[in-house]
Structure 1
Amino acid sequence: MVSKNSPGSSLLDYPRPSVAVDTAVLTVAGGSVCVLLVRRAEDHQHGKWALPGTFLRERETLADAVLRCLREKAGISGRVPRQLQVFDEPERDDRGWVLSVAHVDVVPLAALEEALKSDGVRLASVSGEPELVGGLPYGHADIVAKAVEWLRAAYAEEPDPGALLAEPFTLKDLRGLHEAVAGAPLMRDTFRRFMEPKLQGTGQMSDRTRGRPSRLWVRGGELKV
């Protein structure tokens, strides 16, 4: 018998983990960052809320597995999630050794309306429902935390890089969105000075029923998330 430590041993002699993909679909609703959850139909953790996730099939790419999972479990299609991080803690999944290649996507609330009609799909506020989000199975709470960290870093640098706001928008609308993402108030003048050079004016004014009309803007650069 060939020893596993001998030069003639094969990679097949070593234990290999299962590979899963899990996707944190983020949006802003009710003034808070929310993550999309699906109710598990599988026997394991049946009925529990979790991120849309699936095991990688033989000869399937990660990107294809993510799209298949979002389509089949959440009714979402036409998206291009990006890889976030590999989560490889040995005890993260009580079914065995499972590596999760986590993905993230930022989706306008309006684009999720059809998916949310299902009783098996819901949004959870990352700040308003800590017990639910923190109690997700399979280490999904860690994935959500990392995804929100990534989202906040992106929104600290660019005006609405996830295109959550419909264009055109006012600076007040933009600041309100960024405050929801940051989870904290932002100084109005500081925000304006930082973001205005990254925007393009439309030359139009908002049609306010109350208060003075405001200038309307569109995002001026290439989307980064």
Structure 2
Amino acid sequence: MVIFTIRSERLAVLLRRRDKTPYAGCWGLPGGRVHADETLEQAAVRQLAEKTGITGVYLEQLYTFGDPARDPRGRVIAVSYYALVPYNRLKVQAQPSELAWHRVDALPPLAFDHGKIVAMAQERLCAKLDYSTIALQFMPEKFTLSELQAVYESILGEALDKRNFRKRVQALDCLEDTGEQFRAGKHRPAKLFRLKTPGRVEIIK
């Protein structure tokens, strides 16, 4: 599972330090084997909860990795999933030495082919920004349009025109005005918005 969040305006991924061979002591993605009596989705949800304590997040299947040499123990096929979560609403139940957030643009050497998996998940995420509301999964319950734009910029790694971005987002009809405002320092108060359908990703036609 590739768990993405935004920390300090940077895209980050949750990694778990391996305590078994191969790659003992190396960082890698949380995951594990599928039980004979469960679906792939059930296995993904279970492994995520067991390895990180994270539950109730939006998971989407990414890709199947089947290179014969990807695991030195033998032939292992990996079905990967990715999730997008707001950092301030995520509770990771593990010691810092076992789990840690790492910036996607500054990853340590990863076990197996996990670096390739993270790269593909980031590419998928960037591509889906153009035709879905997937980035909204990163947002807290209430947020400003400037905060939402910062999330898009963190994922894409580039600055966006403020006027064009707001026009595009408001045309999606997926946000609603809370009637509340947020003030930071001496700046003008900004409207607070929330999602009309939390936890749901809309496809833009």
TM (norm. structure 2) is: 0.85
- Output aligned runs, 1:123-134, within 5 Å: 123-127=101-105, 129-130=106-107, 132=108
Partner secondary structure for residue 167 of structure 1:
coil
Quick check: 2:61–2:79 contact (8 Å CA) kept in 1?
Answer: yes
State the alpha-carbon separation in 1 of the partners of residues 46 and 133 from structure 2.
Answer: 31
Q: CA deviation at 1:116?
A: 5.7
Q: 2:111 aligns with which of 134, 137, 144?
A: 137
Aligned pairs for 1:44-55 within 5 A? 44-55=22-33
Q: 1:174 to 1:207 in 2, by over 3 A?
A: same
1:212 aligns with 2:170: no
Question: 2:143 is matched with which residue?
Answer: 169
Q: Does 1:28 align with 2:28?
A: no
SS at match of 1:92: coil
Which residue identity does 1:156 align to in structure 2? D
Distance in 1 between residues matched to 2:192 and 2:48, nearest whole Å: 34
Query: Aligned equivalents of 2:134 and 2:37: distance in 1?
Result: 36
Distance in 2 (alpha carbons) for counterparts of 1:52 and 1:174: 28
Deviations, residues 164-193 of structure 1 (Å, cap 9, x unaligned): 222332211111111111111111111111
Q: Please give the per-residue CA displacement for 1:24-59, whole angstroms capped at 9, x wherever unaligned.
A: 011111111111111112232211110012122333
Unaligned runs of 5+ in 2: none
Q: What is the rounded CA distance, in whole Å, between the counterparts of 1:167 and 1:58 in structure 2?
A: 38
Given that residues 135 and 152 in structure 2 are in contact (C-alpha distance below 8 angstroms), is that contact kept between their aligned partners in structure 1? no
Which runs of no fewer than 5 residues in structure 1 stay unpaired? 1-22
Q: 173, 176, 180: which is aligned to 1:200?
A: 176
1:83 equivalent to 2:61? Answer yes
In structure 2, distance between residues paired with 1:43 and 1:99: 18
Task: Give matches, 1:38-77, under 5 Å.
Answer: 38-77=16-55
Q: Partners in 1 of 2:102 and 2:201 — Cα distance?
A: 24
Count of aligned pairs: 199
Could you tell me which of 198, 201, 205 is aligned with 1:224?
201
Secondary structure of 2:13's partner?
Answer: strand
Change (3 A) 1:65 1:200: same
1:114 is aligned to 92
Distance 2:141 2:99 in 1: 27
Indicate the SS of the match to 2:56.
Answer: coil
Q: Which moved more, 1:29-38 or 1:148-157?
A: 148-157
Normalising by the residue count of structure 1, what TM-score does the alignment of the two structures yield? 0.79
Q: 1:192 to 1:78 in 2, by over 3 A?
A: closer
Which is higher, the Rg of structure 1 or of structure 2? Answer: 1
Alignment partners' CA distance in 2, 1:111 and 1:215 = 21
What residue in structure 2 maps to residue 179 of structure 1? 153
Q: What is the rounded CA distance, in whole Å, between the counterparts of 1:82 and 1:159 in structure 2?
A: 14
